[in-house]
């Protein structure tokens, strides 16, 4: 991969991250999930994620994934964008973990590799598929929650569920500096490019990567500290405060019942 492609990818990633996490553009759309009380969304999505994690049947996971798709469309989220930013990435990571199960799970061989004695078994395929489906479903539902809820509302909803202040501070700070951090990584990468002449061999590239990672880690710690000080300086004590108070309406009660019914049905059917 050329340096230009990497730089473009890093820039694209930074822009997308900034737009998604900081501008919260999709959280302010007038869609189904955006209209719900954040506490209802949090509890409801958490219930569906737990149901997906407990389920052993592909058809149940497919149904939960389908529900996620319906909710995404009703919330005016782009499926293409979800596919690019969420499903593809989740699939890549999960497949790397699931791939060994294709060969290591004992069972009936469905395909034998031309080299060596390794074979993909039917049971292995099913195990890998279940893992991938479970992760894709859980990630999709969690992403829907994050994309349709302003971050501070989400933190306040977590606080109402008795999540400790320390965890809230950690989440708040992470959100604050994630864009700064990616911008720093971008700047470091470009600065490195501007001073590089010729090509580095594999060993030199690895060394450079490790060094860059180390510097970035130090900057992360420093930046985290700075952001926290800036928040403290304006009175932040860990409690999330908003201009609007959460208020349950009729539609929220219907939604929480719907989430509860879907999660319960998935747990029962998925056993």
Partner 1 sequence: MPEGKWSEVGLQPEALEFEAAGVRYEYERVAALQGLSLEVRAGERIALLGANGSGKSTLLRLMDGLHFACAGTLRFRGAALTEAAMEDDEFALGFRRRVGMVFQNPDIQLFNPTVFDEVAFGPLQLGWPREEILERVHGTLEWIGAEHLKDRAPYRLSGGEKKRVALASVIVLDPDVLLLDEPTASLDPRSQSQVIELLESWNDGQKTVITATHQLEILGEISGRAIVLEQGAVVADATPAEVLANAELLESANLIHSHRHLHGGVPHKHPSPYLRHEHHKH
Contact residues for partner 1, defined by CB under 8 A: 18, 22-24, 150-152, 176-177, 179-180, 223, 226-227, 229-237, 241-243
Q: Which is nearer to partner 1, 117 or 244 (CB)?
A: 244
Displacement of CA 267 from its chain's centroid (Å): 23
Cβ density class 163-175: b for 16+ within 10 Å, e for less: eeeeebbebbbeb
Q: Where are the alpha helices (DSSP H) in the chain?
A: 3-17, 38-54, 58-74, 79-82, 88-104, 122-147, 151-160, 165-194, 202-233, 250-270
User: What residues pair up with 111 in beta bridges, in sequence order?
Assistant: 120
Q: Which is nearer to partner 1, 18 or 32 (CB)?
A: 18
Q: Which is nearer to partner 1, 151 or 259 (CB)?
A: 151
Looking at residue 248, the DSSP 8-state letter turns out to be -
Shortest Å, Cβ 46 to partner 1 = 23
Question: How many residues can be counted in the chain?
Answer: 271
Q: Which is nearer to partner 1, 28 or 206 (CB)?
A: 28
Shortest Å, Cβ 221 to partner 1 = 13
Q: Which is nearer to partner 1, 9 or 226 (CB)?
A: 226
Compute and round to an integer the Cα radius of gyration of the chain. 22
Shortest Å, Cβ 26 to partner 1 = 12
Q: Could you tell me the two tokens for 92?
A: 């890549």
Q: Could you tell me the two tokens for 257?
A: 């019942």
CB count, 10 Å around CB of 136? 20
Q: Which is nearer to partner 1, 210 or 217 (CB)?
A: 217
Evaluate whether 41 touches 253 at the Cβ level (below 8 Å). Answer: no
Shortest Å, Cβ 143 to partner 1 = 18
């Amino acid at each position: 991969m050329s340096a230009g492609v990497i730089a473009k990818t890093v820039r694209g990633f930074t822009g997308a991250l900034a737009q998604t996490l900081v501008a919260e553009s999709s959280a302010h759309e007038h869609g189904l999930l955006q209209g719900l009380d954040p506490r209802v969304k949090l509890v409801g999505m958490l219930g569906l994620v737990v149901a997906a994690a407990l389920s052993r049947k592909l058809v149940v996971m497919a149904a939960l994934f389908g529900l996620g798709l319906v909710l995404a469309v009703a919330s005016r989220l782009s499926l293409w964008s979800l596919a690019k930013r969420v499903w593809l990435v989740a699939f890549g990571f999960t497949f790397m973990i699931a791939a060994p199960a294709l060969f290591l799970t004992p069972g009936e061989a469905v395909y034998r590799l031309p080299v060596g004695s390794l074979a993909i078994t039917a049971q292995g395929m099913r195990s890998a598929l279940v893992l991938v489906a479970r992760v894709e479903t859980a990630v999709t539902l969690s992403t829907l929650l994050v994309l349709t809820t302003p971050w501070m509302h989400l933190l306040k909803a977590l606080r109402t569920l008795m999540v400790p202040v320390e965890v809230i501070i950690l989440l708040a700070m992470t959100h604050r500096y994630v864009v700064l951090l990616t911008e720093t990584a971008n700047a470091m990468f470009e600065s490195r490019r501007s001073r590089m002449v010729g090509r580095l061999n594999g060993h030199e590239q690895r060394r450079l990567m490790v060094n860059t990672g180390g510097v970035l880690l130090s900057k992360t710690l420093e930046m985290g500290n700075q952001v926290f000080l800036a928040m403290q300086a304006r009175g932040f004590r860990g409690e999330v405060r908003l201009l609007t108070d959460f208020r349950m309406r009729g539609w929220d009660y219907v939604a929480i019942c719907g989430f509860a019914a879907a999660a319960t049905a998935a747990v029962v059917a998925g056993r």
